[in-house]
Amino acid sequence: MVNYCNLRYNSSPSELRNGVILDDEHNVHIDGLRDADNTYVKCKNADGVVVDTNSHCIVYSTFTDLVFTIMPGSQCCLYAKQEFQCKHLGFAEVHPARFSFFQWRVPLCVVLIYRLILAVYCAFWLIYTTIVIDVNVNGLDVSTFAFLTTWTYIVLTVYLILHFLSCLLYACRRGGSVCERMSNENHRQMFHELHVQPSLWGSNDFENVGGIADDEELNGEMRTITLSWLTKLVWLFYNVASSASIMVSLLFWVFIFPQLGELSGYEMMVNLQLHAVTSVIIIIEHCVSAVPIRILHYTHTLTYGIIYIIFSGIYYAVDHRHVLYPILDWGKPEPTAIMLIITAFVVLPIIQLILFLIYKLRIFIFDRCNPELL
């Protein structure tokens, strides 16, 4: 939220330079900043961050610490410090309604129809590919459930179904018309990235939001909302499905597809569905979804990959002919290990960073297209 400073700087013992007032315990109270001419300036306050647009001075407070940074480029370092907090390994600081609405202000019925279509579409292809398609590896009939492609398609399908159910639950609990758009003001209040005070989360538009636990904690004027287990599960599957789908597409088209030889039209259609359409769905999701991306959530996909690697090793140990992928051949441990290390610590982090940048770009465009009314 944008605040206008209303206090001139003075040199009393209770104040530091730039008009930042400290209480007895040295907790920061943002009352005002001044520029070089001792005039009022406009500042933004979000999570303890205040930016003086004239001097590029950033004021930051974490409990009793007060840090002044004069370098103009230091704001990026500050954002990085905030992004890599340990709490961002989990599921915190997100309004539950973001899992029921789009980033863009459209009626709830549009969200429900979109999520239903995607859930049904992926569920159909998952059932079709696992029942109809037979896979032969080194003269053995291998279940499609042994492949990372199928694992990832299951994760994507489960995510889409859970997200649809979460939106449907919200719509049922919310009541009223699902064909009306939320006001621009209330819609912006869901996004903490736009410097909205969490105390505004108590708006009537967000009462009975699916995903709010019954034990909401009220701390002064600050309202802490705990995500439900369903919402956390949606977020978890969203993270894994996003990075894993893109990773599977890249690995297939770069390393496996060139070795397949000539394919029939039917085989090409199936491969496009399993290794291309999935990534298209994910990109669309990241363009419309209001769910945030955390860089540290890369660990969720990494854990998922480690589980599959352990499975593939056990599967190979049972029968050495079970070489599911040429790049995952445990009979050649050295090149396999190199490929796994590159994928885990280079490819996956880059994918996560790209998704994070898409999320930041989405927030930026939304903020420009839907400015806050002062």
Q: What is the pLDDT of residues 40-49, one digit of tens each?
A: 333 444 444 4
Do 75 and 128 lie in one domain? The reply is: no
Residue 36 lies in a domain: yes
Do 295 and 173 lie in one domain? The reply is: yes
How does residue 190 score in pLDDT terms, banded at 50, 70 and 90?
confident
Do 148 and 64 lie in one domain? The reply is: no
- Using alpha carbons only, give the angle 351, 76, 26 rounded to the nearest 5 degrees: 130
Kindly report the average pLDDT of the chain as a whole number: 75
- Say how many CA atoms lie within 13 Å of 372 toward its Cβ: 17
Among 20-24, 138-142, 269-273, 357-361, the range scoring the smallest mean pLDDT is: 20-24
CA-CA distance, 260 to 247, in Å (whole number)?
Answer: 19
Cα of 151 vs its chain's centroid, Å: 21
Query: What pLDDT is stored for residue 47 in this prediction?
Result: 42
Is the confidence at residue 173, as pLDDT, over 70? yes
Residue 88 lies in a domain: no
Sequence-ordered strand ranges (E) for 2-118 = 2-4, 21-22, 28-29, 42-46, 49-52, 57-62, 65-69
Do 61 and 123 lie in one domain? The reply is: no
Q: What is the pLDDT of residues 242-252, one digit of tens each?
A: 999 999 999 99
Do 17 and 155 lie in one domain? The reply is: no
Among 163-177, 180-194, 332-346, the range scoring the smallest mean pLDDT is: 180-194
Enclosing domain of residue 336:
96-369
Do 306 and 365 lie in one domain? The reply is: yes
Which of 10-14, 175-179, 321-325 holds the top average pLDDT?
321-325
pTM equals 0.74
Number of domains in the chain: 2
DSSP line for 250-270:
HHIIIIIGGGS-S--HHHHHH
From 23, 48, 83, the end of a domain falls on 83
Residue 90 lies in a domain: no
Is the confidence at residue 135, as pLDDT, over 70? yes
Considering only residues 315 and 189, tell me which one the structure prediction assigns the higher pLDDT: 315
- Using alpha carbons only, give the angle 235, 237, 243 rounded to the nearest 5 degrees: 105
Q: What is the pLDDT of residues 254-311, one digit of tens each?
A: 999 998 888 888 889 999 999 999 999 999 999 999 999 999 999 999 999 999 999 9
From 61, 83, 105, the end of a domain falls on 83
Query: Tokens 């009541």 correspond to what residue?
Result: 175
